[in-house]
Amino acid sequence: MSELIWIRDAELMSPHPAGRGDVLIANGRVLAVGEGLDPRGCGVALRTIDAAGHYLCPGLVDSLVHFGGGGGEGGFATRMPPLAATTALAAGVTTMIGALGTDDVTRSHADLLACARALAASGLSAYVLTGSYQVPPVTLTGSVRGDLAFIPEMIGLGEIAIADHRGSQPSAAELARLASDARVGGMLAGKAGTVLVHVGEAPEGLALLREASARWPVPLRQWHPTHVNRHATLLADGFAFVRDGGSIDFTTSSTPDFVAAGEVPAARALAEALAAGLPVERITLSSDGQASLPHFDAQGRLLSLEVAPIGSLLGSVRDAVESHGVALATALAAATSSPAAIWGLPRKGGIAAGMDADLILLDRDTLALRWTMAHGRL
């Protein structure tokens, strides 16, 4: 143990409220959490951080980031750049799950995996999904099961696209087979094997997932559909999906054009889901970071593109609390403990002995981010 970190007098949110207390950290892990901890005189170098007047929270878990760069649907000039580790840390994100998305032609899993390992060198936890929008999926080892079994960073499959013109228009049988492959690959490696499903604007919504789970022994919880706040009809479909045993994800990056076209902002979608009695344990928020966000004129012509900001995740947590009356613990759960559980990451999303020291400090009055700690590194 080269250094012991002592965070003192914080308002602990784990993400549930845990009162005022201290946290001891060494070697990238939480050693102890409690009130009145005092490690002085323990014989190792001690770094003390005064957190009085602040909430100490788990680092955010962003379950959809195109950290190798997204976009590209408008030609080569519309390819978005890779994510910098400093950008993620400045946004309070300490864990992220990367996906290819639309472009599995000019981008590859080898490059995505290299980006994940570069981010990890900065202290971040970066995982990867095999596959892309397309069916059959592109893989590194030749199979979904092989990728999940043999590549440590690969923890699931996705984003498989349904109800979208950019997808392969898969059948329910094809989806069931893919989910089974992800499930078995995950079992072999002790991973969740969750399937992230990109849901487009087509009216069929989540029907294909229901059909696959109704006709074959694939539990609804194996799927994790994202962009479910795309429009009100899909949002209602998503609520029913959760009631039936599934989980859903709301995308936090948006534009005024998207909202004008019917998108439900993620913070509002979360508030409506909670008001409908849905458990936050089955709801996540993700940024879709580094995807492309288009701006159109009144005639629908593309004017410009911007990068989907990973910072929208914390922004939506704050908006849910300040504008929609969601309790801070609940809003945090949708971006910490819920995605950690759905994706099978037991050392993420909380503050307890043995968990990774991935933490953020928020001002108690403004919820402004003061600092981010990833694996015990500020």
The pLDDT of residue 166 is: 85
Quick one: CA dihedral 273, 178, 209, 202, positive or negative?
positive
Continuous segment of H or E residues that includes residue 267? helix 266-275
Continuous segment of H or E residues that includes residue 183? helix 172-189
CA distance 219 to 24: 40
Residue of 106 and 156 predicted with greater confidence: 156
CA distance 299 to 200: 22
CA-closest candidate to residue 334, choices 63, 114, 8, 104: 63
Residues 355-375 have a mean pLDDT of 98
Out of 34-38, 75-79, 115-119, 256-260, give the one with best mean pLDDT: 115-119
CA distance 103 to 138: 11
Distances (CA, A) of 284 to 171, 224, 253, 313, 362: 26, 9, 14, 10, 20
The pLDDT of residue 304 is: 76
Residues 148-152 have a mean pLDDT of 98
Residue 369's DSSP bridge partners are 362
List, in sequence order, the alpha helices (H) in 42-170. Answer: 85-90, 109-120, 144-150
Residues 231-246 have a mean pLDDT of 98
64 three-class SS: strand
Continuous segment of H or E residues that includes residue 68? none
The pLDDT of residue 341 is: 98
Residue located via tokens 């962003």: 62
Cβ-based neighbour number of residue 315 at 10 Å? 18
CA distance 200 to 178: 19
Residues 295-313 have a mean pLDDT of 82
Q: Which two tokens stand for residue 263?
A: 């998108």
The pLDDT of residue 76 is: 83
Residues 305-331 have a mean pLDDT of 96
Mean pLDDT of the chain: 95
* Residue 70: band (very low, low, confident or very high) from pLDDT cuts 50, 70, 90: confident
The pLDDT of residue 141 is: 97
Degrees (nearest 5) of the Cα angle 101, 74, 103? 25
Q: Which two tokens stand for residue 198?
A: 């990109």
Distances (CA, A) of 57 to 6, 145, 166, 272, 295: 15, 35, 38, 24, 35
- Catalytic site includes residue 288: yes
Residues 360-365 have a mean pLDDT of 98
The pLDDT of residue 80 is: 85
Residues 109-121 have a mean pLDDT of 97
Residues 275-290 have a mean pLDDT of 98
Contacts of 45 (CB under 8 A, 6+ apart): 2, 3, 4
CA distance 235 to 247: 12
Q: Identify the structural domains of the chain with CATH numbers, from first to last.
A: 4-57+350-373 (2.30.40.10), 60-342 (3.20.20.140)
The pLDDT of residue 71 is: 79
Active-site hit among 103, 249, 288, 319? 288
Residue 344 zone, left/alpha/beta (φ > 0; ψ -120 to 50; rest): left
The pLDDT of residue 297 is: 72
Out of 42-56, 66-80, 267-281, give the one with best mean pLDDT: 267-281
The pLDDT of residue 300 is: 64
pLDDT in tens, 172-222: 999 999 999 999 999 999 999 999 999 999 999 999 999 999 999 999 999
Confidence check: pLDDT of 75 > 90: no
Quick one: CA dihedral 87, 317, 51, 5, positive or negative?
negative
